[in-house]
Structure 1
Amino acid sequence: MLGLKFNGTWRNYQKQVLDKFQEYQADGHVHLVAAPGSGKTTIGIELIARFDKPALVLVPTVTIREQWVDRIRQAFLEDENQVTNLVSQNLKDMKQITIATYQAFHSAMQQVQSQEDNGEVEDYVGFDLLARLKERGVETLCLDECHHLRNEWWKSLEDFRKNYQQLQVISLTATPPYDSEPELWDRYLQMCGEIDQEITVPELVKEDTLCPHQDFVYICFPTKEEDKRLEEFEDTKWQYVSQLVVDPDFQELIRTSKVLKGENSADMLLEDPKYLSALLIYLQAQKQEIPKHLRDLLGAKGLPALNYYWLEVLLQGLLYQTPDWYEDPQETKKKIEAELKSRGLIEKRQVFLVKSKANDQILNQSLGKLSGIADIFATEYASLGKDLRQLVLADYIRKDFANYLGDDQAPITQLGVLPYFETIRRSAQKQGLSVPIAVLSGSVVIIPASVKAELEALIPNTSLTFSTIGKLDQGTYLQVGFPSNFKGMVAAVTELFQRGSIQVLVGTKSLLGEGWDAPCVNSLILGSFVGSFMLSNQMRGRAIRIWPGHPEKTSNIWHLVAIKPYTKNLFLREKENEEEVDQDNSYQDLLNLTRRMEHFLGLSYKEDTIETGLDRLNFPKAPFKKSKIKAYNQKIKELSKDRSSLRKKWQEALVVADKLEIVNEVATDRKQIPLLTLVDAEKWVRYSFLLIAVNLLLYLFKTNGIRLAWLTTISLVLLTIALVRYFFYKSPYVRLRQVGEGIRNAMLKMGHLSDDQSRVQVEEDKDSYCIFAYLKGGSMRDKELFSQTLGEFFTPVDNQRYLLVAKKAPAGQSKYFVVPSLFEKRKEEAQLFLDAVAPQLGDYQLVYTRNEAGRKVLLEARLKSLANKNDRIITKKKVKSALK
């Protein structure tokens, strides 16, 4: 009926999906998870062909919409001209296969006007989408990159499914929401069905479907002007804060607190104990007396030192959260609020002392990244020369900078496509390099003058215009003008890039970051400073495709992060550890990078393993001193040149087994692993030895021989059992595995795991004092949920509903463990969790923290956690052998 027939050769993993098509589609869904570059679009078209019914395909962007049309034309039709009769890109003019964006679909469901990401406008007022679909007889729905759905798009799609049920659904995605809340996960599965198969990046590299690649993080310094602004902000903050804490009016305001006068009930104080804690920490810092009943209420033997964090909490409470705690006849609070606002320390009724949105923006959009891009370009060109095919992606074009292109003295004041182009052009010119650089965006196209004839030959019969732009010499670079409705410019410039007529291509992430295909890219610079992990993953996917005819291809992916070099913070001068100072002032740019790297599976710098996380890149630890940053940048530049070793390391890392398994490791410090079972075992060893000693005394006093023999036998049996139990629980690996198995059993009983054959594995990290645990076997969702639950069990106490509290904790062991969020909604579920882990934990009781007695326990546990800076949980994904 559809007349589609694939004219290529299926890859092994694609064939596996298609061989199981009948099995997968039995529930009305085929749900495929596959990394960018795996050929999801091709599989999707084949699945549509096998259902052989009129189909609606929904995609996230216009670029991907057009890519689907091109793939159908090139790979599935004998006569490419048939595509116009078979495929439509307009919901109002449906054909056998209609491909539309989620935006257009949502607008049609709501019957409103739609505007696409490329500016296309369509009016759906009065348009009955359901009636048109029924008229066309659509029975197949394909959701491409279904992780993209915004909340309002979800609602439209759910409404559609309720009212149009005669559908077989194909779902294709690179990044399912594994780490979402159970309710969101259930919603996702209800729409897309259970995941039928997952194809990961390491598998694709092993299959030679993706090329060996490596991530590099180039650390940029803020410019002198930016650094001055950051320093001025910190100095202004320090000067004001250091005066404020000793200001007599402020001290008097604190003294008026109803808390100190005993006018607040304990119940009220414990509603949110951090404000009470902040108040007492301030009193301690000022060497003022803390009322005994308040110290007893906290249950704390010691309080942390006053720092920016605790002062921020105190001021937030005083100004906004608990203002009624303080009498203020002098209106001191208004003066403090005005002073904080004037210094940029309050935004939208939130006090910012630890972090600042203004500072975050300075670093996020730091012009220091321009010199980073120039350095990366120079490094890559020195390494690859004429073989370089570098893609640079940016968020914005910055058309206002066009007039300054070619002016070597013009300051560059923004990040974007044109500033990046000019930065690289100047770098090449400075080094005397003749490197063809181009700009490709939806509205601005710049090419080297040397490729003008080639471009015209690629798109004949098109009215192109060529003109100067800025102060660029017309014999060197030209701006290309083309009709607004012309669709072939991207393909033509991409072909020039493939040929090497263009070696560096600078463009927008919206046009080239997703769906665009240029297999030649062997160096990618992510110059985007906004966007989620999902978009970063798609952008990264542009660089890791294989390049037919070039089996030696490897690819480098460059991430930029701006970090202000470490300077001693005077307000925190009493801290012993410099690392804590820097961590207290982590900027969002670094946090964004850290989160991004948590999801990318790649090669470790340190050993031949494939895992996620910033640590695999041997990223420097805080404090970030300038000399350390420079040394790191130099090291990664040298590392980036060794592409032959990169291929070899991938091969060695992937040799682990015929079948790979991605696991989610959770690392915890040995000292956090519960000790109570070991202490109990030690107690029984002591009792057994005591019993043997009693037997010896009885023997010396010539007690009845038969009775003595029985007692001796019993004593030896008990000693043997006690010793076995002692040596069994002496190992922290064993104790962690036992706890993990208890958690796994609880999850199985609650129906949170899909595979009852999975098991808990435990390994040591030789480079740290940590032990890793992970779930072997089971689905990716099982692994994600298990690691999340195990991590929550060891996480520092914050404001959880239920805690596990030891009746008597061993020396050096925390009394408190957290009941994970999966089990905290009802007491019965929390009790089930305790029952499952009790045999491995020892004598712990369940405490509900939402009553007065429980809140006291919660507060004590939170203060204990605050004092322990080692209560950090590390999680990462890692490739293991599925056969181990």
Structure 2
Amino acid sequence: MPAQTGTGLLHLNPPLRRHQREALRAWRRAHDSGARRSWIVLPPGAGKTRVGVEAVRASGRKGVVFSPNTAIQAQWAAADPALRSLTYQSLAVFDAEREDRNGDDDDGGGSELSRLHPNGLRLVEELAAAGDLMLVLDECHHLLRTWGRLLAEVLQRLPQAHVLGLTATPAASMTAAEAALEADLFGGVTYQAQIPEVVREGDLAPYLELPWLTTPTPTERDWLRRHDARVQEFLAHLGDPEIASVPLLESLDALTAGTRWADLEAAEPELADAVARLAHAGTARLPEDAVLRERHRQDPGVADWMRILEHWLKPLNESGDGDDPRDRALIDEVAGLLPSLGYRWTRRGIVRSTPTADRVLARSGAKARATADILGHESATLGEELRGLVLCDFESAATLPRTLHEVVDPAGGSARAVLRALLDDPATAELRPLLVTARTVAGEERTLRALAAFAKDRLPEHTAAALVVEHSAGSPTLEGWNARQWVPVITEFFARGGSRVLIGTRGLLGEGWDARCVNTLIDLTSATTPTAIVQMRGRALRLDPAQPGKVAAIWTVTTLAEGLLADGDWQRLVRKHDGHLAPDSTGELVDGVAHLDDGFSAHHPPAPDLNDEVNARAVRRSQRREEAARLWRSALAAGTHQVSVVRARERHRAARAGTDGGRPVQPVPRTAPSPIWRVARISVPVLAALALILVLAGFPAAGAGALGACLVAGTAVLVQVRRRHLELARPPGIVAVAAAVAEAMHEAGLLSRGAEAISARFGGSEGELRCRMTGVPAEESARFAAALDEAVQPLSSPRYIVSRSTVAAPTAWAAMRATLSGRDGQASTWHPVPAELAGRRETAELYLRAWRRWVGEGELLYAKSPEGAGVVAAARGDDPWQVSTAIRLHWA
């Protein structure tokens, strides 16, 4: 197909989308400046292939494309037959004989090229001989995890080649090692677009991220309870002071004594978090100036105990000859228990493996039943338009430890188990579900016969598939095809409604598979890598001309149980949604699990007895697809970047279910005591005494005047007492504290704006207050949110504290008596000064001044002074604001 001269744009191709144009312009700028390496990040469905084709044509060089599988390889070949389209596997063919000869001599530091099979080496030589080459590395995130070192060596052999990396995986999700390799391969991100930006342009469908929570089956639950009880008993046993030469609590005290919190966090962040959570539970003491964040305000989990055990036992293990026999016995006991918890004792310390309890939760038989429930609801909502995709880790059975053979069904979590559950439910059987893997096509007999008839006209050169009704798994199957033949046919059959649900593995129906009709995706996989998650979501986000108002629902099924070992599946859910934006119940685009449900926290799962309530909320949201589309439009119109938002909810109050309707809340300065009041308060007794003296001295007119002045002053006192009582009786809210924090940080030079930039409103199903800074950079937004979160917490180990006056007298009359006596009818509560402002006395005083303006009268104390230490000791644990807070990233 001819291209336009000098532009590389095809005559007959549709116009480039905005992000394709921007990506090509960014690539052109880099190319024209002499850069030979470029990296472009575009979400699935945003048109990376078109960008790569146009870049190769515009470069005027020979184009060679590497991609991760044959499906994507075929897409490139169809997009431009002039390109040489290869898979990464065609390059990374290693010589098995050479590997065997090297054996243990290979220390991992040798050349990757030296390990290649002759066919791989021959391909490298061909590329090197090609001369002026444009090398496109599609889905290049695969390189960083699988073939990164190899490609680095290959590119050293191709010094003249221009390299373009294309991926859907955001750069922010990379590890430090991957980031270093990326910089070596590509030299940094040339252009990047996030999913919300592409949705705003109308190039991807709006979507909902929805949770479905299950509980283990009775057999699974009984096993988990027994296992958890054994672990809890063992952890209690560790508290015995006679169990080792150095008791556990003594080890913790030695760690925290004289240690600055910032130093501990910088040196060993995981250990610091574990100590903070143990302190929150009352087991450990906090170092000086410790700050308890949301992630610390929960009970310690298994991972925390592992960090504590490693800190405690590793020195005992390394102490050499003459060990206390109790230490050796304890280490052996811990080493024997660790595998059941998903950890191993090694010379390097305690390392993570796969916990047995996690296998139970990930493979729970309850997930297949949950899939049927979800699809039943989606069918009721979408009717004949439903096109559901269920993704699993494997087709039929997983390898399980022998200890779980009588606990977990080997087929649990498999595609076949899901197919069986859907066919057993009359409501979902009507959806004509099909199992599609690289080896198998299975389903109900009538559906398979319809598929075979549908395929006759589309595969005339192939023998029709044979229907096999009897199968060991109990479902009829089709045999006689291969995946390359049947996947396109089944995709079209699915799009036309021959089947409304496909069940498969992400290996086949994930990356590279394109079915625009998918509007419901159910994730049953245990995959948590950013690459896998981005690619799975991408299956549902493509636009479908047959569904102009398409809003996709992406469901993640999670199994929750009670006990210390019950959060493995929850942590997988957290990792799946970390760094990913989606609308919450109010339509705000929110990062992480908070977009699934307003009550979710990344740091702890909800109680299992809330499952039904959470699932019901998710179903209601899925039923309001049109409203979801409207909320997407409003959110995208208002937002341009991510900001940090503090969410505050009253701790002991039932959720208000959004009754405030998004009502905004503005901070209002507190009224300072009037100087007239202070004068009048002193004048009343003086004038009264003067009037009495004048009358007794025979000057009744002067006495009457003094008495009149006394009445005027008394009235002023009464008015001021009443106003003051009302002022103190109206406690300031979190927004007032936010204004004080923002104003003080602005005056200290930490923020570019002050209290005028505070934006707060009620919203969400929990009726929570959401507070943020507007018009400031993302890093300032995060700094403010962290400071506000700290300011409303109970005292822990602050450097400075500030008081807030509250009403002690219950009535205005009692307040007047207290005022006339000079006591003002007030008491005080004490609050921490945020660490950002507590480093120096000068900035702490800025906070005091802002506090008095927005929150109320108060005093500042250094927490380590004798008076301050006494106040902290007396007030520690008090919770004056009575709120639970969390920091979330929003698109605003």
Category of TM-score, reference length = shorter chain: 0.5 to 0.7
- CA distance in structure 2 between the aligned counterparts of 1:763 and 1:508, rounded to whole angstroms: 45
**Among 232, 242, 251, which residue is 1:252 paired with?**
242
Question: Would the aligned equivalents of 2:741 and 2:847 in 1 still touch at CA under 8 Å?
Answer: no
Task: Tell me the equivalent position of 1:104.
Answer: 91
User: What code does the residue aligned with 1:451 have?
Assistant: L
Superposition pairs for residues 341-420 of structure 1, below 5 Å?
A: 344=340, 347-349=343-345, 357-398=355-396, 413-420=411-418
**In structure 1, distance between residues paired with 2:889 and 2:382:** 32
Are positions 1:174 and 2:182 aligned together? Answer: no
Residue 496 (structure 2) pairs with residue 499 (structure 1): yes
Instruction: Tell me the distance in 2 between the aligned counterparts of 1:632 and 1:48.
Output: 49
Letter in 2 for 1:482: W
In structure 2, distance between residues paired with 1:176 and 1:253: 48
User: Which residue is equivalent to 1:133?
Assistant: 127
- The answer on whether the counterparts of 2:345 and 2:351 sit within 8 Å (CA) in structure 1 is no
Distance 2:520 2:255 in 1: 63
Change (3 A) 1:137 1:359: same
- Going from structure 1 to structure 2, the CA distance change for 1:426 and 1:739 (only over 3 Å counts) comes to farther
Q: Tell me, in whole angstroms, the C-alpha distance in 2 between the residues paired with 1:550 and 1:19.
A: 29
Q: CA RMSD in A?
A: 5.8
Q: For the structure 1 residues 329 and 231, does the alpha-carbon distance in structure 2 shift closer, same or farther, using more than 3 Å as the test?
A: same
- 1:283-311: per-residue Cα shift (whole Å, max 9, x none)? x999xxxxxxx9999899xxx99988797
| 2:140 equivalent among 133, 143, 146 | 146
Residues 760 and 776 in structure 1, CA contact (< 8 A), matched pair in contact too: no
For 1:42 and 1:166, how far apart are their aligned partners in 2? 24
Give the AA of the match of 1:594. V
Q: State the distance in 2 between where 1:541 and 1:42 align.
A: 17
Q: Closer, same or farther in 2 for the Cα pair 1:111/1:540, shift >3 Å?
A: same
Task: Kindly provide the CA deviation profile for residues 232-275 of structure 1, in whole angstroms up to 9, marking residues without a partner as x.
Answer: 11223344555665xxxx443468769979x9999999998989
Deviation of 1:460 (Å): 1.8
Q: Note if contact 1:55-1:138 (Cα within 8 Å) is conserved in structure 2.
A: no
> 1:161-216 CA deviation, whole Å, 9 max, x = no partner?
55534344434333322266789657645644564544333343343322232122
- Counterpart position of 2:462: 462
Cα distance, 1:63 vs structure 2: 2.8
User: Cα 1:477–1:760, aligned 2, differ >3 Å: closer, same or farther?
Assistant: farther
Amino acid at match of 1:516: W
Q: SS of the residue aligned with 1:516?
A: coil
AA aligned opposite 1:590? W
What amino acid is aligned across from residue 547 of structure 2 in structure 1? H
| 2:580 equivalent to 1:600 | yes
User: How far apart, in 1, do the equivalents of 2:738 and 2:323 lie?
Assistant: 61
Q: Could you tell me which of 9, 17, 27 is aligned with 2:14? A: 9
Could you say which residue in structure 2 is the equivalent of 1:320?
314
1:649 aligns to what?
Answer: 628
- Which SS does the other structure have where 2:491 is aligned? helix
Deviation of 1:113 after TM superposition, in Å, equals: 6.8
Distance in 1 (CA, whole Å) between partners of 2:45 and 2:327 is 58
Q: Which amino acid aligns with 2:357?
A: N
The 5 A counterparts of 1:656-695 are 660-667=639-646
State the alpha-carbon separation in 2 of the partners of residues 537 and 285 from structure 1: 40
Q: Which secondary structure state, in structure 2, belongs to the residue aligned with residue 132 of structure 1?
A: helix
Q: Distance in 1 between matches of 2:73 and 2:597?
A: 39
Deviation per CA, 1:728-763: give whole Å up to 9, x if none.
x995444544677699x889xxxxxxxx99999643
Residue 630 (1) aligns with residue 612 (2) = yes
**CA deviation profile, 1:54-102 (whole Å, cap 9, x unmatched):** 12333333332222223x15xxxxxxxxx2xx23334xxxxxxxxx327
Task: Tell whether 2:164 aligns with 1:164.
Answer: no
Q: Distance in 2 between matches of 1:383 and 1:790?
A: 42
Which structure has the larger Rg over C-alpha atoms?
Answer: 2
1:675-715 deviations in Å (ceiling 9; x for gaps): xxxxxx99xx999999999xx9xxxxxxxxxxxxxxxxxxx
Amino acid at match of 1:636: A
* Closer, same or farther: CA 20–360 of 1 in aligned 2, 3 Å: same
CA distance in 1, matches of 2:133, 2:506: 34
**Alignment coverage as a number of residue pairs:** 716
State the 1:609 CA deviation. Answer: 2.4
341-350 vs 138-147, which deviates more?
A: 341-350
- What is the aligned partner in structure 1 of residue 441 from structure 2? 445
- Following TM superposition, by how much is the alpha carbon of 1:595 offset from its aligned partner in structure 2, in angstroms? 3.0
Kindly indicate whether the alpha-carbon contact (under 8 Å) linking 1:736 and 1:762 is maintained by their aligned counterparts in 2: no
Q: Which amino acid aligns with 2:126?
A: R
Distance in 2 (CA, whole Å) between partners of 1:459 and 1:329 is 74
The letter for the 1-side match of 2:449 is A
Task: Give the secondary-structure state (helix, strand or coil) at the position aligned to 2:641.
Answer: strand
Which 10-residue stretch deviates more, 620-629 or 543-552? 620-629
Residue of structure 1 equivalent to 2:215: 221
The counterpart of 2:54, out of the listed 35, 46, 49, is 46
Q: Please name the residue that 2:726 is paired with.
A: none
Given residue 457 of structure 2, which amino acid in structure 1 is its aligned partner? A
* Alignment pair present for 1:234 and 2:233: no
Q: Pick from 750, 760, 765 the counterpart of residue 764 of structure 1.
A: 760
Following the alignment from structure 2 to structure 1, what is the Cα–Cα distance between the partners of residues 138 and 176? 23
The residue aligned with 2:423 is: 425
Deviation at 1:105, TM superposition (A): 5.6
| Match 2:521 to one of 524, 535, 540 | 524
Change (3 A) 1:732 1:791: closer
Preserved CA contact (<8 Å) 1:467 1:478:
yes
Structure 1 residues 866 and 545 mapped into 2: Cα distance closer, same or farther (>3 Å)? Answer: farther
Question: How far did 1:808 drift?
Answer: 7.4
Please name the residue that 2:404 is paired with: none
Q: Shift in Å at residue 657 of structure 1?
A: 6.9
Alpha carbons of structure 1 residues 764 and 457: separation in structure 2 relative to 1, 3 Å: same
Q: Which runs of 5+ in 1 are unaligned?
A: 74-82, 91-99, 115-121, 287-293, 402-409, 567-581, 672-680, 697-726, 748-755, 798-803, 820-830, 844-852, 854-860
What residue is the counterpart of 1:879 in the other structure? 891
> Structure 1 residues 400, 663: closer, same or farther in 2, change over 3 A?
closer
Q: Pick closer, same or farther for the CA change 1:239–1:686 going to 2, 3 Å.
A: same
Match of 1:537 in 2: 534
1:63 corresponds in structure 2 to 71
State whether structure 2 residue 546 is matched by structure 1 residue 552.
no
Aligned in 2, Cα 1:446/1:239: closer, same or farther, shift over 3 Å? same
Paired residues of 2:645 and 2:890 also in contact (CA < 8 A): no
Q: Distance in 2 between matches of 1:654 and 1:479?
A: 44
Deviation at residue 223 of structure 1 after TM alignment: 0.7
Return closer, same or farther for 1:473/1:658 CA change in 2, 3 Å cut-off: closer
- The one-letter code of the counterpart of 2:455 is L
AA aligned opposite 2:891: V
Is the CA contact (8 Å cut-off) linking 2:741 and 2:788 kept in structure 1? no
Say if 2:442 and 2:478, in contact at 8 Å, map to a contact too.
yes
In structure 2, give the amino acid aligned to 1:176. P
The sequence identity of aligned pairs, in percent, is 17
State the TM-score, normalized to the length of structure 1: 0.66
Specify every segment of 5 or more residues in structure 2 that has no aligned partner in the other structure, as ranges: 96-110, 291-296, 400-407, 651-668, 684-731, 792-796, 804-828, 850-863, 865-871
Q: Distance in 2 between matches of 1:65 and 1:870?
A: 58
Which of residues 190, 201, 205 in structure 1 aligns to 2:195?
201
Instruction: Indicate how the Cα distance of structure 1 residues 307 and 540 shifts in structure 2: closer, same or farther if over 3 A, else same.
Output: closer
- For residue 349 of structure 1, report the CA deviation from its aligned partner: 2.4
Instruction: Give the counterpart letter for 2:413 in structure 1.
Output: L
Judge conservation of contact 2:649–2:885 (CA < 8 Å) in 1.
no
Q: CA deviation at 1:375?
A: 1.3
Contact kept, 8 Å, 2:289 with 2:798, in 1: the verdict is: no
Please tell me the residue identity of whatever aligns with 1:817: A
Cα distance in structure 1, aligned partners of 2:313 and 2:345: 8
